[in-house]
Amino acid sequence: MNLSNLKPAEGSTQTRKRIGRGPGSGLGGTSTRGHKGAKSRSGYKKKIGFEGGQMPLQRRVPKFGFKNINRVEYKAINLDTIQALAEAKNLVKVGLNDFVEAGYVSSNQLVKVLGNGSLTAKLEVEANAFSKSAVAAIEAVGGNAVKL
């Protein structure tokens, strides 16, 4: 074997189809595009959602509902989760940074504390929102809920 007899593996290369190069090539004339119609023309581009003239799906299906642009999306954290976090890290004040470090929320999410579970430790809990039952449970053990 030397440089003069190197060649690619059998079947690994193919010759390119030279379309529209006259009748002798066998691919002249209509250049494999068929006869007439929009698809045979240069510059043809199908519109997104076009279904060949049939009424497209986005026009057949009725519109309904709406998106409230003022909606505020909260990540819910329950009292039992806060209790477990406080016990694990021996905390007196639980804030947003603690939730982020524990992996419960990402840094750009808003947190709402919900009243599911029980709280035994006296804690100061910081969050963006609280449910009424969560505030009652936190204050019942002598802690306080700080809304950010």
CATH of the domain at 87: 3.100.10.10
Structural domains counted in the chain: 1
Give a yes or no: residue 137 inside a domain.
Answer: yes
Tell me what percent of the residues of the chain surpass a pLDDT of 70: 100
Give a yes or no: residue 30 inside a domain.
Answer: no
Q: What is the pLDDT of residues 38-89, one digit of tens each?
A: 899 999 999 999 998 999 999 999 999 999 999 999 999 999 999 999 999 9
| Pure H helices in the chain | 57-60, 79-89, 96-102, 132-140
For residue 57, give the DSSP letter. H
Domain of 98? Answer: 74-147
For the segment 93-112, the average pLDDT, to the nearest whole number, is 95
Give a yes or no: residue 84 inside a domain.
Answer: yes
- Confidence at 1, pLDDT banded by 50, 70, 90: confident
Alpha carbon 140 to its chain's center: 40
Q: What is the mean pLDDT of the chain?
A: 94
Instruction: Answer for the pair 80, 68: CB distance below 8 angstroms, yes or no.
Output: no
Residue 68's pLDDT is 95
Q: What is the pLDDT of residues 23-47, one digit of tens each?
A: 999 999 999 999 999 899 999 999 9
Q: 143: Cβ–Cβ under 8 A, 6 or more apart, which residues?
A: 119, 121, 122, 123, 124, 125
pTM, rounded to two decimals: 0.59
